[in-house]
């Protein structure tokens, strides 16, 4: 046995490049310097280039008159409006097509996803075909198809296709009747709000009663009846204070009603159908991810099929579905920028397209456009993360 030496063990100090802490620090400083030099170079070059082209930087251009019209705007807009107003119009157009697209894609996606798991062979095959066809064709091609091959070849206004002489479809777009609210209509939204509050209260009472006595009433149906019935009742009692402004042919075009431009229709259809095929796959894999033992256990408790789905499968499947569903929603919002290819006046089209070309303020315009999409992405993912945290499995 060797006697341990009393002298303190002197570890040689490692050289500078062998010390992980110092090496990491050096590496990071080098990275910072590299990035800084790169950015400085870019800024420098940009200033030179802008000076050479005589472009002044800054956001002053936003107050200048735009001087071009936009076919669809949700807020007042004319060619005398400013570029700032153009930005807002584009943003709102992006948001509305995205919101309606998300809605439609979710509905189609869930229906097709569940249909793919149907015991009916034919339905399951049809759903599979839908998914495999639409998700393997580029979105831009689908937009072009709906726009150039379908909607642009519609008949002219005089020969428009009509549904019951109230809804018309022609080469200029889709014409829908517009509700005109008369006095006394305010009672109906009020009745709706009351019905919603009442059904929430009823659901809470029902839950407490079930916990106390074990008995429960069909809360879903009662709430549905309340929410639909009460406004309908008020509507009938007040004598239907709504008239419909039905579009009518006058001259070569339709007047009155709501006009949905074909660009919007094409973009909305393509976005919904394309994204729905991805959502359907997500829904299917989410449902299949639930262990079969869960269904069997629920069957052993003799729960009926509907309750197995509602109480056992869906709540667990949602946990698997929500994260990829979020990224599909974000994809849809980002893909709505393809509008520019068919001239739907979205943010990229009117702002990063027309405004950029007219003003030449490339940096400001692209930065603002990107900032909008980044903000939307961050907001949606924050919201969905919060929602996901609520439904997530809490372990220990």
Q: Please report whether residue 382 would count as binding another protein according to CB under 8 A.
A: no
Which of residues 67, 128, 318, 334 is near another protein by CB under 8 A?
A: 334
Element containing residue 168 per DSSP (H, E)? strand 167-170
Which of 36, 37, 42, 200 is the binder for another protein (CB under 8 A)?
Answer: 42
299 binds another protein (CB under 8 A): no
Nearest approach in angstroms of CB 133 to another protein is: 7
Q: Which is nearer to another protein, 98 or 199 (CB)?
A: 98
Among 169, 352, 354, 355, binds another protein (CB under 8 A): 352
As measured in angstroms, the least distance from the Cβ of 148 to another protein is 5
Residue 66 φ/ψ, nearest 5 degrees: -75, -50
CA distance 336 to 323: 20
**Cα separation of 216 and 313, whole Å?**
21
CA distances from 268 to 170, 341, 382 (A): 17, 14, 25
Comparing CB distances to another protein, the nearer of 226 and 282 is 282
Q: Is 362 in the site for another protein (CB under 8 A)?
A: yes
Question: Which residue in 45, 56, 79, 305 binds another protein (CB under 8 A)?
Answer: 45
| Cβ proximity to another protein, 45 vs 156, nearer residue | 45
Using CB under 8 A as the binding rule, whether residue 370 contacts another protein is answered as: yes
Q: How far is the CB of 333 from another protein (least distance, A)?
A: 8
Q: Does 50 bind another protein (CB under 8 A)?
A: yes
The set of long-range contacts for 34-42, using a CB threshold of 8 Å and a minimum separation of 24, is: none
Q: Does 384 interact with another protein (rule: CB under 8 A)?
A: no
Contact 131, 112 (CB under 8 A): yes
Residue 258 interacting with another protein (CB under 8 A): no
CB of 374 to another protein, least distance (A): 4
Asked whether position 110 contacts another protein by CB under 8 A, the answer is no
Query: For another protein, which stretch binds (CB under 8 A), given 85-93, 188-196, 221-229, 374-382?
Result: 374-382
Q: Does residue number 35 form part of the binding site for another protein (CB under 8 A)?
A: yes
Site stretch for another protein (CB under 8 A), options 186-194, 205-213, 240-248, 362-370 = 362-370
Q: Which residues contact 158 (CB under 8 A, 6 or more apart)?
A: 249, 252
Three-state DSSP at 356 gives helix
Q: 258-260 and 253-255 as β-strands: parallel, antiparallel, unpaired?
A: unpaired
As measured in angstroms, the least distance from the Cβ of 5 to another protein is 26
Asked whether the beta carbons of 58 and 41 are under 8 A apart, the reply is: no
Question: Least Å distance between CB 174 and another protein?
Answer: 20
How far apart (Å, rounded) are the C-alpha atoms in residues 172 and 155? 9
φ, ψ of residue 249 in degrees (nearest 5): -75, 125
HSE-up of residue 396 (Cα within 13 Å, Cβ side): 0
* SS3 state at 385: helix
* Burial tier of 369 (Cβ tally within 10 Å: 0-12, 13-18, 19+): buried
Tell which residue, 164, 155, 173, has the closest CA to residue 254.
Answer: 173
First to last CA, the chain: 51
Should residue 111 be labelled a site residue for another protein when binding is judged by CB under 8 A?
no
Which is nearer to another protein, 238 or 331 (by Cβ)? 331
Count residues binding another protein (CB under 8 A): 53
> Between 56 and 78, whose beta carbon lies closer to another protein?
56
Tell me how far apart the alpha carbons of residues 201 and 188 are, in angstroms, rounded to a whole number: 20
Is there binding between residue 220 and another protein (CB under 8 A)? no
Q: Tell whether residue 26 is a contact of another protein (CB under 8 A).
A: no
Are the CB atoms for 250 and 259 separated by under 8 Å?
no
| Residue 167, H or E segment | strand 167-170
Residues that bind another protein (CB under 8 A): 24, 27-28, 31-32, 35, 42, 45-46, 48-50, 52, 118-123, 126, 132-133, 135-141, 144-145, 148-149, 153, 292, 334-335, 337-338, 340-341, 348, 352, 356, 362-363, 366, 369-370, 373-374, 377-378
């Amino acid at each position: 046995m060797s006697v341990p030496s009393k002298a303190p063990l002197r570890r040689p100090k490692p050289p500078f490049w062998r010390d992980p802490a110092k090496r990491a620090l050096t590496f990071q400083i080098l990275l910072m310097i590299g990035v800084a030099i790169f950015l400085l170079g870019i800024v420098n070059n940009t200033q030179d280039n802008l000076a050479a082209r005589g472009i002044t930087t800054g956001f002053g251009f936003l107050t200048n008159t735009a001087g071009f019209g936009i076919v669809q705007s949700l807020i007042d807009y004319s060619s005398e409006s400013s570029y700032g107003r153009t930005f807002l119009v584009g943003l709102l157009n992006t948001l509305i097509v995205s919101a309606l697209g998300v809605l439609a894609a979710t509905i189609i996606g869930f229906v097709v996803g569940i249909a793919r798991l149907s015991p009916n062979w034919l339905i399951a095959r049809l759903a599979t075909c839908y998914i495999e066809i639409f998700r393997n064709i580029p979105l831009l091609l689908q937009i072009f198809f709906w726009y150039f091959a379908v909607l642009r070849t519609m008949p002219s206004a005089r020969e428009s296709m009509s549904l019951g002489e109230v809804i018309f479809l022609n080469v200029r777009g889709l014409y829908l009747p517009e509700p005109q609210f008369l006095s006394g209509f305010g009672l109906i939204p009020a009745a709706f709000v009351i019905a919603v509050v009442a059904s929430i209260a009823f659901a809470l009472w029902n839950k407490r009663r079930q916990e106390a006595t074990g008995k429960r009433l069909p809360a879903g149906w009662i709430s549905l009846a309340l929410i639909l019935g009460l406004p309908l009742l008020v509507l009938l009692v007040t004598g239907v204070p709504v008239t419909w402004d039905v579009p009518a042919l006058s001259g070569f075009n339709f007047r009155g009603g709501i006009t949905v431009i074909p660009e919007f229709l094409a973009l909305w259809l393509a976005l919904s159908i394309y994204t729905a095929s991805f959502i359907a796959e997500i829904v299917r894999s989410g449902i299949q991810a639930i262990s079969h033992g869960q269904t069997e256990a629920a069957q052993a408790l003799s729960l009926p099929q509907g309750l197995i789905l509602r109480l056992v499968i869906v709540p667990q499947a949602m946990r698997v579905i929500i994260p990829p569903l979020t990224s599909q929603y974000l994809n849809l919002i980002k893909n709505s920028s393809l509008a520019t290819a068919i001239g739907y006046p979205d943010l990229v089209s009117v702002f990063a397209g027309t405004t950029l070309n007219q003003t030449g303020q490339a940096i400001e315009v692209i930065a603002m456009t990107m900032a909008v999409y980044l903000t939307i992405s961050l907001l949606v993912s924050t919201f969905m993360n919060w929602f996901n945290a609520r439904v997530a499995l809490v372990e220990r």
